[in-house]
Structure 1
């Protein structure tokens, strides 16, 4: 009888752990894909296009103030680029906060000073969110000078070593 209980416990635990994803895949595009072009307005109401940055390496950072991991990643990537003496990467930071005031306060608190920092107030309903397939989580992409994704989910340490 005692063995039956243990067998039941083992079966129960193994069935529960089989539903837990061990390597949660992130959404979006993959290395080797061409980053879709987009137009977006800056805080000063200027229109910007990703295609205008061709010829430069670009770090696209998608985030939202309510997503702690993406927000921390965005801030640390911004700090690395600000501290880099060899500035060969342009950062484009896109927040999916639905309220401009929340975005502006987050930028102020996180000290994000990227010249190309945007808020997409349609949030997860925006075409940009869908175009980059961010439904499984925010991410960042490093693009080469032709707009091809050469790295995904790059960390601040990886970006720092890339810049050196």
Structure 2
């Protein structure tokens, strides 16, 4: 029997090797950049995040890997050795889709001016963006240009700022409308799912989104993005104000399970955050103040982290002085509680009363403070 098991294992080895063999490559040529220039990539595959980095040699770099289908990537190029963080947030960075392809990315000077060849998926992505009016990044760049057309005096004028903001919001709404239209007109396109997922937003209008979603290809509905959108629709039904807060259990910082049910009888803020989230960290001083004010009156906070690196999570808790309950499964955006609650952006929060019903959604800053004062004072 042991011999047979060994023989079966030997037969399976080539299958396992083939399953993990690279099925994509991203080959770049950006001018003649060399040390200390670095290229960084982050991409999602079937709900799992991947990252890689490589030094440029005479402008050349190459990433390879294995993906299950279409994937969304962020690529950043550090020209001067400032590190990944600087490259991603203030440097030369692009966002794009690709598939099981051999893609070439080339430019004389930067990623932002690069030309893609060998990628049918990227061509589909470009056509999709053209149909809906551009990417969010492109619209944000355009509004900054619009604002900077004003004189210094105009830029200080609230009426001028409001006019620029209204134009920007109209373009965003036009883009959302076109995304819904694109989804209806191209139900067999992967980018119909991309469009619907983004247009649906965090607070999904299920009556509008669900019929369109059900008309999509079943194969796309069963992708991780499709499952996440289905979960978001389900969450919209069960996380509205007045509904019983969905129960969950997740491990705390020392690996001990903590349940929301165990906090029944207290007013609980279920707070979704992450160590890398600037707005989350900016709100923490206010949460600390509110917690100190009301914790002895029956207020509790359970923070659900969307981190995937435990050290970063623990460091942020200590640095910000967050003396309440913290849980995480360290799965990043795939955090099971986050998916249960339909969280698509952080910070996000749900205020739960002593009976376990949701009494506030997305409260932070002064609106949260006012609500807590009403409850406890």
Correspondence for 2:363 among 116, 132, 154? 154
Q: Match of 1:6? A: none
Q: Match of 1:18? A: 170
Correspondence for 1:42 among 240, 248, 252? 252
* Matched pairs, number: 150
Q: Match of 2:92? A: none
Deviations 1:62-86 (A, max 9, x none): 1112221123224422321113375
Q: Match of 1:127? A: 336
Structure 1: state its 5+ residue gaps: 1-12
Q: Is the 8 A contact 2:274 2:346 kept in 1?
A: no
2:271 is the alignment partner of 1:61? yes
Deviation at 1:41, TM superposition (A): 0.8
Q: TM-score, normalised by structure 1?
A: 0.77
Answer with 1 or 2: which has the greater Rg.
Answer: 2
SS at match of 2:327: strand
* Two-structure CA RMSD over aligned residues (Å): 2.8
Residues 73-112 of structure 1 aligned to structure 2 (within 5 Å): 73-84=283-294, 86-112=296-322
2-structure distance, mates of 1:142, 1:112: 18
Q: Is the 8 A contact 1:78 1:91 kept in 2?
A: no
Deviations 1:6-35 (A, max 9, x none): xxxxxxx998652225xxx65463211221
Seen in structure 2, the aligned counterparts of structure 1 residues 33 and 70 have a Cα distance that, compared at 3 Å, is: farther
Correspondence for 1:31 among 230, 234, 241? 241
Deviation at 1:155, TM superposition (A): 2.6
SS at match of 2:271: strand
2-structure distance, mates of 1:78, 1:120: 23
Seen in structure 2, the aligned counterparts of structure 1 residues 74 and 34 have a Cα distance that, compared at 3 Å, is: farther
2-structure distance, mates of 1:78, 1:108: 12
Deviation at 1:59, TM superposition (A): 1.2
Q: Is the 8 A contact 2:250 2:259 kept in 1?
A: yes
Q: TM-score, normalised by structure 2?
A: 0.36
Q: Match of 1:8? A: none
Seen in structure 2, the aligned counterparts of structure 1 residues 158 and 53 have a Cα distance that, compared at 3 Å, is: same
2-structure distance, mates of 1:99, 1:147: 31
